[in-house]
Chains A and B, each alone.
Chain A
Amino acid sequence: MRTIETDLVVEAVQDLAISAAHDLEPDILDALLAARDRENSPLSRNVLELLIANADIASRERIPVCQDTGICAVFVSLGREVLVAGDLEEAVQEGVRRGYEEGFLRKSVCDPVTRRNTGTNTPAVVHLELVAGDRMVIRLLPKGCGSENMSSLAMLPPSAGLAGVVDYVVERVHGAGSNPCPPMVVGVGVGGTFEKAAIIAKKALLRPVGEANPRPEVAALEAEILARINANGQGVHGFGGNNTALAVHVDTFPTHIASLPVAVNIQCHAHRHKEVTL
């Protein structure tokens, strides 16, 4: 067994929260640069330039990329040979708390009944899974809610088939219009149960932007959905053009013979995600 102290987890999560808010990862920056180079609408190309400039200013001046520094989804993959010396869940929450306080990040988490802000940006939504090995991988996805609000889930009948899946995703993305800050990254979960579909849709967002699903038939589905989304010409922020979405990531999970769950988790162009291995 290998022991990991919770102090190390607190510090790691704090660093992830602060860097996620300020420093876009190369995958999303490259996707924005590529979108700019193929953009066919002059206004949308200008807006893409502004977004690239924004990322540059954010990183240099230590101003968050977006004022909506999100509610944090934290995926912890814990090796079975790791002994955590203390309360792992609380360590993650403390890391988020400190990151948002010390990083001058906006605290956007509130009670759903009273709408009172918790003042700490906690609780984060923590997903823990046990994996092989003696490492702990922490992936942090601070989710802005302009895009999160446009996400949805359907329990399709199996007769709808893959064509039904494609239609549903495309309809939800087009229906979102400019609300979720396109160009988007679209996470799709197909299969599982009601909650599993949503979780794999969110996890699909953690894949490097544009990396295809290893299953060829799923990769083909991703390409088909992306082409359909971009064919309608809504474009960057609804200003027209061929970049409504940057990528579609589909993940699947076996499901019940009576079921075809589909979850669509929409992510904005300010796709902030970070990970660390302890």
Chain B
Amino acid sequence: MSLLRYRPAFFDELKEVEVPFQGDALQSLAAGDLISLTGTIYTGRDQTHRRLCALLDEGKALPVDLAGQLLYYVGPSPARPGRVVGAAGPTTSYRMDAYTPQLLALGLKATLGKGSRTMAVREAMRENGVVYLATIGGAGALLSQCIKSCEVVAFPDAGPEALFRMEVERFPAVVINDVQGRDYYEMVANARKGV
């Protein structure tokens, strides 16, 4: 690739992690770790969250058991014929903050998006032993190449906002919030302030 000068370290120095998380893999992740995810994940963004929480409020069962799973905040663009998925980078996570504690209470173990979370969500994550990961916003074409399958599990009428199950292979991410409650964005900010 002629435009590239440095080979991105993302693809050289990544800590390989299986999803759903096995054993104590989740506990061993530290804020700032560069990781690559391989395995099965679920997706959801604004509409999915609204609908999942509406079902919970009505005391109904969810279309998928989120216990132990990773939820990726993404609304992919349509796949061209013969392709698995279109562009599929992260959407901004804070929009899911209003719903996240309810899903963490079900045993959801990780979320993946971009941007920082509210203190309420960070606290709920720490209490439930949950990690928050960020991947690269605006790199939807590149990230789509790490997605090996993509199928609708629920809410097909929501189009790109449906709940999908994806098989991913070496999907790059950065650990933002670890189970100790550390926050990588804050660590970067503190480092530059000399805190």
Contact = CB atoms under 8 A, between A and B. Distances in A.
A106 B78 contact: yes
A178 B174 CA distance: 13
A67 B189 contact: no
B36 to A, nearest CB: 13
Contacts of A235: 188
Contacts of A218: none
B99 interface: no
Interface stretch (A7-15, A57-65, A152-160): A57-65
A57 B6 contact: no
Interface in A177-209: 177-181
Most buried by A among B1, B134, B142, B174: B142
B91 A146 contact: yes
Interface residues of A, number: 55
- Sorting the interface of chain B by its residue count into under 10, 10 to 19, 20 to 34 or 35 or more gives 35 or more
B192 interface: yes
Contacts of B115: 146, 177-179, 238
B5 A57 contact: no
A36 B4 CA distance: 10
Given A66-B138, A240-B192, A179 B114 contact: yes
A66 B134 contact: no
B159 to A, nearest CB: 6
B35 to A, nearest CB: 13
A42 interface: yes
Contact of B3 (A46, A52, A146): A52
Contact of B185 (A62, A105, A149, A238): A238
B148 to A, nearest CB: 15
Interface of A: 29, 33, 36-37, 42-43, 45-47, 49-58, 61-69, 104-108, 115, 117, 119, 144, 146, 149, 177-181, 232-235, 237-240, 268-270
Given A66-B137, A107-B160, 6 more contacts: A29-B3, A54-B136, A58-B140, A68-B140, A178-B114, A240-B188
Which 8 A/B pairs are nearest by Cβ-Cβ distance? Answer: A58-B141, A67-B87, A181-B137, A63-B141, A106-B77, A179-B115, A270-B138, A54-B142
